[in-house]
Amino acid sequence: MDVYTRLLRPLFFSLDAEEAHELVMSALEAGSRMPSLIRLMAGTTVTHAPRNVAGIEFPNPVGLAAGMDKNGVALQAWEALGFGFIEVGTITALAQPGNPKPRLFRYPDKQALINRLGFNNEGVEAVATRLEGLHTSGRWPRIPVGLNIGKSKVIPAAEAAGDYLASFKRLHGLGDYFVINVSSPNTPGLRDLQSTEALGRIIRTLRDWEGTPRRPLFVKVAPDLAEEDLVAIVQLAEAEQLTGLIATNTTLDHSCIPPKLDQTGGLSGAPLRARSLSALEIIRRQTALPVIACGGVSDAESAGERFTAGADLLQVYTAFIYQGPALLRKLAQEKPQDR
């Protein structure tokens, strides 16, 4: 019996979506001190399918997308559940509570979520201190950890590059790769930073400070960009020697949601599948840079189509909420394409 879908999910879905999220994160944080117990309770074995991407060894190609573990509190638990890598965040330089509640909504018949969380997190100092503690205590997970950074809400867009740099500096050396998040729809004006001028300024500010050697650096893009804008970002990524791209964040296209049930925010889950795949295909036509596919990945078929389209790795979030740990076994069986 799938304990998650038969027993745990009904319990969690009886609660408000964000209350359930907080309950799960508290349990996983506690479980990180006993990862063997997490493995036993998960009751699933994920195929070992190692993959080297951007010089990083991934034990399997299925990772946890940013947004689930914003503050890096349960890293060992995610490893125990079978994820091949974890992306922490989004982390901002300044601690911030995010948008007013309620701000997370389920649509079970669509296998979807809408969120307008707004980068709620403890801020870079608290997160960096926690990650340093895991390193020094020997409790750092054996799988890659990415660190996703975003703009603090109160910082004007004109000062965004310095704000990203503050997070990058404090976290430097703590993760295996970094992600510049300029594509969340829930921070006012953030998606404007996807313009090549603004994004280029952020990238150069980080790289100029870093010098060499460089940490792997990705940019996460929105699924709602026009093709020419997405192509321009890919060209910028190549010109600035970024490591790769993540395709994609959530969408503002809510056409599948009945108007009376609709909410402001980014839509994730199964309805995002086609849009995210299209963005991946556009990116792959333009570049051989590594691409992490995220958005609408929920079964072997959707995983396979991403690999066929040229994805190097996958990330999940919403499908994991609906399906639990058994999802990882299904997805990890799919093989990335050799290119």
Question: Is the Cβ–Cβ distance between 244 and 290 less than 8 Å?
Answer: yes
pLDDT (tens digit, 9 = 90+) per residue, 139-182? 899 999 999 999 999 999 999 999 999 999 999 999 999 999 98
Please pick, among 32, 167, 184, 276, the residue that the annotation labels catalytic. Answer: 184
Look up 32 and say whether it is catalytic: no
| pLDDT score, position 32 | 79
- Of 63, 17, 32, the C-alpha closest to 139 is 32
| pLDDT score, position 338 | 60
For residues 151 and 166, what is the distance between their CA atoms, to the nearest angstrom? 10
Sequence-distant (6+) residues with CB within 8 A of 304 are 334
Please tell me the pTM assigned to this model.
Answer: 0.94
| pLDDT score, position 39 | 67
For residues 141 and 80, what is the distance between their CA atoms, to the nearest angstrom? 9
| pLDDT score, position 41 | 64
Q: E strands of 166-252, at which residues?
A: 177-181, 217-221, 244-247
| pLDDT score, position 191 | 79
Which residues of the chain carry a pLDDT beneath 50? Answer: 1
- Of 191, 83, 188, the C-alpha closest to 145 is 83
| pLDDT score, position 3 | 82
| pLDDT score, position 31 | 80
Sequence-distant (6+) residues with CB within 8 A of 331 are 62, 297, 299, 300, 303, 314, 316
For residues 30 and 285, what is the distance between their CA atoms, to the nearest angstrom? 44
For residues 279 and 286, what is the distance between their CA atoms, to the nearest angstrom? 11
- Of 84, 101, 64, 80, the C-alpha closest to 31 is 80
Could you give all domains of the chain from N- to C-terminal order, each with its CATH number? 3-332 (3.20.20.70)
Residue with tokens 């309770």: 41
Q: Rounded to an integer, what is the distance from CA 85 to the centroid of its chain?
A: 10
- Of 9, 266, 4, the C-alpha closest to 113 is 266
